[in-house]
Structure 1
Amino acid sequence: MKRIAIFASGSGTNAENIIKHFQSTENVTVSKVYCNKKDAGVFDRCKQLNVPCVWFSKEAFLHSSRVLHDVQLHADFIVLAGFLWKIPANFIDAFPKKMVNIHPALLPKYGGKGMYGMHVHRAVKENNESETGITIHYVNEHYDEGAIIFQAKTAVDPTDSPEDIANKIHTLEYKHFPEVIEKTIILNQD
């Protein structure tokens, strides 16, 4: 049984979708969710789904090995689902090609520090893009620069607002993210 740790910072809709997907599989489970915001909605979602969700501080994450050691006890694979902090080198070293992130744009466009959520959708709108999408990629030491595993596109209509674009992106995330995680875990089994 392969165990996934999810890192989230917000409402947890992607985390919930991933947890539900793996509840019906035999070889993969979400063992624990980690969150860096005490008041994030992901805590309520995890409680309803009976998946442990724990908060951690920036100090514990960046300047000690406490969080990493706990993850190593509970997971074989890490999924970043709306997690906004840069991943420290000790995590990248401990989980090579076993940590993925989802980004709400077609990387390399609209990636990097500060480019998340509505910041991305507003930039797509302001630049009159005709399409956007999602990118699922491995995590490395740089924001949004890890090797791309999968991309899916959607059209952007001239009348779309940033909120409309966000809704299109969420649809792609919910459809593709769990399946791509599952295939990536299968491909990277030891």
Structure 2
Amino acid sequence: MQKARIAVLISGRGSNMAALLYAAKAADCPFEIVLVAADSPDAAGLRLAEGEGIPALGFPKPTGKDKSQFFEALDLQIRKSGADYIALAGFMRILPSSFVGGWEGRMLNIHPSLLPKYKGLDTHKRALEAGDSHAGCSVHIVTAELDDGPVLGQTPVAILPGDTEDALAARILIAEHQLYSRVLAEYVQRDSQPEAILAQVRERAMALPRAEETLSHGMPCFGIEKGKKFAYFTKDHHGDGITALIVKTTGEEEQAMLIEEDPDLYYRPAYFGPSGWIGIRLDGGATDWDHVRDRLETSWRLIAPRKLADVF
């Protein structure tokens, strides 16, 4: 499994960072921590990360005009680490729009309230003063507006009679540690889920002339209107554990040649194989979607009426 690479930004003890770091130690976790960075060399979380063998950087606290240079240097180090995503974990800096824009859709934050309630600071105090029955935490995508990005997950935490800010904060912190790793894992895998892969296939298949989508043998398939099928989408068909696209070739000779050239990508699908169809695995990560589009078009041409194929 190719794991998503995460850079975690902290400002202090880094307890949420630690929760992510230890979650990443599980063999089946879809992400790994490649960098922990802080806006202070004295941030306690840096020592924890170093002790666990994670590269850790502490930058001098930026002031005034140094802030732009701080974020430029931070961005440079994150990119050098090879990070795919950024996880903010108690990073107490307002991010400039240029920094946020450079990581659009690839930066998450955990916030100690049930957003959109109580953006910003003093969330526990505000929940108590409002007489709320529950407080909680949220994981959201970071956008230029403070605590305003799409919410990916939340955990409500009951407010108990006589609660203090500190008591409520301690319980919410436990919830944060549980929520962040789960939501981050789901988010970095979103493009590898069968439904997302099917959407990518559908976009390309339905762009072909007179294409239509139907179901056949429980599988989504694509064909020419009132005509033959040119592609099937398979997900764990007959328990094979494979997510793939099945398309036509010119025959068993081409099928065998493709499998020999790249056995990790191509395979001979059950039931379809004897007719010269070939499976293209879509569950290996880093799918070449241009190649998928080309194979779909080739398959479409093999079954399209000549008059239709000639004008495409």
- What TM-score comes out, normalization by structure 1 length? 0.90
2 CA distance for matches of 1:51 and 1:14?
15
Shift of 1:38: 2.3
Structure 1 contact 60–66 (Cα < 8 Å) conserved: no
- Tell which has more relative contact order, 1 or 2 (C-alpha 8 A, sep 6+): 1
1 CA distance for matches of 2:85 and 2:66?
20
Structure 2 residue aligned with 1:8: 10
Structure 1 residue aligned with 2:106: 98
Percent identity over the alignment is 26
Structure 2 residue aligned with 1:107: 115
1:71 aligned to 2:48?
no
CA RMSD of aligned residues (A): 1.8
**Residue 180 to residue 100, structure 1, CA distance change in 2 (3 Å):** same
1:52 aligned to 2:60?
no
Any idea what the Cα deviations from partners look like across 1:7-54, whole Å, max 9, x if unmatched?
A: 001111111110111122464210001100222211221122111110
Counterpart residue identity of residue 73, structure 2 = R
1 CA distance for matches of 2:22 and 2:14?
12
Shift of 1:73: 2.1
Structure 1 contact 12–41 (Cα < 8 Å) conserved: yes
Across the two proteins, how many residue pairs are aligned to each other?
185
2 CA distance for matches of 1:28 and 1:60?
33
Any idea what the Cα deviations from partners look like across 1:61-80, whole Å, max 9, x if unmatched?
A: 53362221221121110000
**Residue 188 to residue 143, structure 1, CA distance change in 2 (3 Å):** farther
- What TM-score comes out, normalization by structure 2 length? 0.56
2 CA distance for matches of 1:126 and 1:62?
37
1 CA distance for matches of 2:36 and 2:179?
20
Match of 2:45 among 42, 46, 58: 42
Structure 2 residue aligned with 1:83: 91
Shift of 1:153: 0.4
Larger radius of gyration: 2
Shift of 1:167: 1.4
- What are the ranges of 5 or more consecutive residues in structure 2 without an aligned counterpart? 193-285, 287-312
Structure 2 residue aligned with 1:30: 33
Instruction: Tell me the secondary structure at the aligned position of residue 65 of structure 1.
Output: helix
1 CA distance for matches of 2:10 and 2:84?
17
Structure 1 runs of 4+ off > 4 angstroms? none
**Residue 76 to residue 45, structure 1, CA distance change in 2 (3 Å):** same
